[in-house]
Copies of this chain bind each other. A is one copy, B any other.
Amino acid sequence: MIQTDVSGLHQGSAMLDAPGADALTDRPAGFPAVDIRIALFSVENGALRVALVRHGSGYGLPRGVPRATVNLDAEARRILRDDTGHIDQYVEQLYTLGVDSERTWTVVISYLALVAPDGPGIDAGGCEWRLVAEPPLTEADQMVLDYALLRLRAKIGYTTIAFRLLPPMFTLRELQDAYEAILGHPVDKRNFRRRVAAAAPIEATGERRRDGSHRPAELYRYHGDRSTETYLTPPWAADAERG
């Protein structure tokens, strides 16, 4: 099994160019503006989507200015709630980059967040859900999105964060759909179920869901500790990482 370095972005090769680098000198060293920027994902019937919010003329990732606290993760959650109306099921800091935008030097702390689809559509707050391939974004937003996707694809392979994308009760097919949407390729049903059963704390509820002219699916519940996202299934991710 070969894995490429998921943290490759840190190496600087993918860093933003500084088109107006002279403007950067305007602000005193050590006191840049700081903002938090979040790639919020959800899976809506088999498709992975990112949340975008209106920013002046166009759309961009949800973002905001942190208040003076020691807990940046909590600030990310607050900003997400204020900006999109969604309550995250999972938040993880990604990395921090310098950005030169509108003549201001800004330090952007980027986050990955996940929500389960809530209710009929997943359009609660004032945000749009776009397919991850689609949107033309600013350079910085695009970087954050790309890296968030990379991390999500890698991490779904060895943690249980995928359950954060599903409602409390779900079918194994829905879980598999989430994996396939994120990885971008199909996975084997039998191997998938075996591994999930072995590695993730899920239990069959006994209830079934009928939704077509076919055998109904068993509903499962996830019983994982929220703080210890545990190991799950590396090997499928390898394909996605190689790409």
Binding site for B on A (CB under 8 A): 1-5, 7-8, 10-13, 15-18, 21, 24-27, 29-35, 65-75, 91-93, 95-100, 105, 107, 109, 155, 158-159, 227-231
Contacts and interface: CB of A to CB of B under 8 A. Distances in A.
Given A158-B3, A229-B5, A231-B2, A34 B31 contact: yes
B230 A4 contact: yes
A65 B97 CA distance: 15
Nearest to A104: B68
Given A32-B34, A93-B95, A227-B11, A18 B69 contact: yes
A99 B70 contact: yes
B228 A25 contact: no
Nearest to A33: B30
A30 B105 CA distance: 12
Given A8-B228, A8-B229, A10-B92, 13 more contacts: A4-B230, A12-B73, A18-B70, A25-B68, A26-B68, A30-B33, A30-B34, A31-B32, A31-B34, A32-B66, A34-B34, A70-B97, A75-B98
Nearest to A26: B68
Which has the most chain B C-beta neighbours within 10 Å: A33, A34, A109?
A34
A107 to B, nearest CB: 6
B8 A227 contact: yes
Contact of A96 (B24, B29, B109): B109
Given A30-B33, A34-B30, A34-B31, A73 B4 contact: no
Contacts of A98: 66, 68-72, 75
Which has the most chain B C-beta neighbours within 10 Å: A11, A68, A72, A227?
A68
A81 to B, nearest CB: 15
25 contacts: A4-B228, A4-B231, A5-B230, A8-B227, A10-B73, A12-B73, A13-B227, A17-B70, A18-B69, A24-B69, A27-B68, A29-B66, A29-B68, A30-B34, A32-B66, A32-B68, A66-B98, A68-B105, A69-B98, A70-B97, A70-B98, A70-B99, A72-B96, A75-B98, A93-B95
A241 to B, nearest CB: 10
B68 A231 contact: no
A220 to B, nearest CB: 21
